[in-house]
Amino acid sequence: MKLGLFTCWSVGTEGGRHYTLGCHQRYLEEYCKRLDRVVLVATMGPREEKHDCEINYPNLKIISIPYFNRYIEGMFKLPHILAALLRLNTEVDAVYVRVPSPYCWLPRIICGRKKKILMHVCGDTLDASQYGYHLPGIVRKLFRAAYMPEWLMTKWALKKTEFIVNGEKAYLKLKHLNENCAMVISTTLRDEDFFMRETARLEEKIVILYLGHIRAAKGIDVLIEAFKLIKDKYPRAQMLIAGSGEYLDVLQRKVEQEGLDEKIVFTGHVCAGEQRNTLYRGADIFVFPSYSEGSPRVVIEAMANSLPVITTTVGGLGNRLKDGEDALLVKPGSAVDIASAIARMIDDIELRRRCSINGYRKVLNHKVDAFIQSIVDRFQQHGAFQ
């Protein structure tokens, strides 16, 4: 059983060893447990801070393409991507394709005639591109226009290929393309990531946590505005913004200009596993203000750590979570709504306890081993592996 992964995940090299993000390492480990051979097409460059986990499996092979950090940079790597896919086609029985990735429709053309392809729609680039507020409106419009041919080709590939989709919003948007589609929830949770806190009582400090990528579409600037609205009422409150990304400098300047740098702390990149769990377990409230998501993995992680959650209704969360029972749900882009939800969560110990317990129960069955097994099963059901 030989599976190719066309994901454009990044791999960093250091001292002859290979490293990747913790979430990707967990996926790769599960694939390597189940398959004879895993061939990963990945961008490769010197190791960065985000490459926090080594990948060293005897049945894993990496086909490298030059490193890029942004989607638009990847569009200029077509010769390298094409060469990598031609190699991949000779070495595997089937191919998993992550969408969006630059030229994610190409595997359908190169590999799709004789090999089973499964496309996995993890996010919506067109949707997310609306929220680059640090860029002029004309730049965002130009990006969307430039991306449109890529999106049309991706839709063509989805029509021809079985696919799975993160989140209900994207599923409802795309399901008309192909009857062979299904909605899934991505997860990287292991048994050790689950934790039930003993009390919902607040300590001397009230710690509000955001953890995730630092980019405009995550709505972190709105969260900062919400914190401004509640900071005087709750002087014990402080906020941790954990993660790295291209929007970090913009947000740090905003916090400094607002005089909030003693109340809002940027932690930088946080490694998957123990470091992340320590942050979740040391916080009192998790806030996820994103504008656009598939199935937000960090919300599931927070719930697994029994952390009361406030989240926007992205990725179908509005239908999967009951407001006031599993979490507090707010509209994207509304600092007033987020501030009101934070105040409710701080003031109401029973609400915190209820969301903590119900959220924890909600995600108990969302574990990475079962998730990856479900993907392997889809290939096996079609006799994809020779």
386 lies in some domain: no
Is there a single domain that holds both residue 203 and residue 279? yes
What pLDDT shows up at residue 289? 96
Q: What is the mean pLDDT of residues 278-284?
A: 96
Domain region containing 182: 2-187+367-381
Is there a single domain that holds both residue 183 and residue 40? yes
* pLDDT exceeds 70 at position 126: no
CA 20 to the chain's CA centroid: 15
Is there a single domain that holds both residue 238 and residue 117? no
119 lies in some domain: yes
Is there a single domain that holds both residue 182 and residue 196? no
pLDDT in tens, 166-192: 988 888 889 999 999 999 989 999 999
196 lies in some domain: yes
96 lies in some domain: yes
Q: What is the mean pLDDT of residues 249-263?
A: 94
Mean pLDDT, the chain, as a whole number? 92
Strand-pair partners of 184: 166
What pLDDT shows up at residue 292? 81
329 lies in some domain: yes
Cβ 106 vs Cβ 82: under 8 Å: yes
Secondary structure (H, E, C), 146-162: HHHHHHHHHHHHHHHCE
342 lies in some domain: yes
Specify the DSSP element, H or E, that contains 249.
Answer: helix 248-257
What pLDDT shows up at residue 127? 66
* pLDDT exceeds 90 at position 305: yes
What pLDDT shows up at residue 177? 95
What pLDDT shows up at residue 386? 63
Cβ 181 vs Cβ 163: under 8 Å: yes
What pLDDT shows up at residue 134? 55
Is there a single domain that holds both residue 239 and residue 281? yes
Q: What is the mean pLDDT of residues 216-237?
A: 95
Q: What is the mean pLDDT of residues 314-338?
A: 90
Is there a single domain that holds both residue 179 and residue 275? no
126 lies in some domain: yes
* pLDDT exceeds 70 at position 253: yes
* pLDDT exceeds 60 at position 133: no
Is there a single domain that holds both residue 300 and residue 336? yes
- Alpha carbon separation from 316 to 100, 169, 183, 292, 366 (Å, rounded): 18, 5, 10, 10, 16
CATH number for the domain that contains residue 235: 3.40.50.2000
Please state the φ and ψ torsions of residue 357, each to the nearest 5 degrees. -70, -50
What pLDDT shows up at residue 203? 78
Residue located via tokens 């030229």: 103
Is there a single domain that holds both residue 60 and residue 196? no
Q: What is the mean pLDDT of residues 274-300?
A: 92
Is there a single domain that holds both residue 19 and residue 154? yes
Residue located via tokens 């839709």: 155
Q: What is the mean pLDDT of residues 68-73?
A: 84
26 vs 202: which has the higher pLDDT: 26
Query: Residue 116 corresponds to which tokens in the numbers above?
Result: 């089973």
What pLDDT shows up at residue 129? 59
Q: What angle do CA 327, 332, 337 make, to 5 degrees?
A: 65
Is there a single domain that holds both residue 119 and residue 257? no
What pLDDT shows up at residue 128? 59
66 vs 317: which has the higher pLDDT: 66
* pLDDT exceeds 90 at position 123: no
Residue located via tokens 């050790």: 192
What pLDDT shows up at residue 314? 83
Dist CA 158 CA 101 (whole Å)? 14
What pLDDT shows up at residue 124? 75
Query: What pLDDT band is residue 95 in, cutting at 50, 70 and 90?
Result: very high
Q: What angle do CA 112, 117, 123 make, to 5 degrees?
A: 120
Query: Residue 55 corresponds to which tokens in the numbers above?
Result: 């990948």
Q: What is the mean pLDDT of residues 237-263?
A: 94
Is there a single domain that holds both residue 274 and residue 298? yes
Cβ 94 vs Cβ 385: under 8 Å: yes
228 vs 113: which has the higher pLDDT: 228
Dist CA 282 CA 280 (whole Å)? 6
Is there a single domain that holds both residue 302 and residue 332? yes
Domain count, the chain: 2
Instruction: Give pTM, 2 decimals.
Output: 0.92
Can you say whether residue 306 is alpha, beta or left, with left for phi > 0 and alpha for psi between -120 and 50 degrees?
left
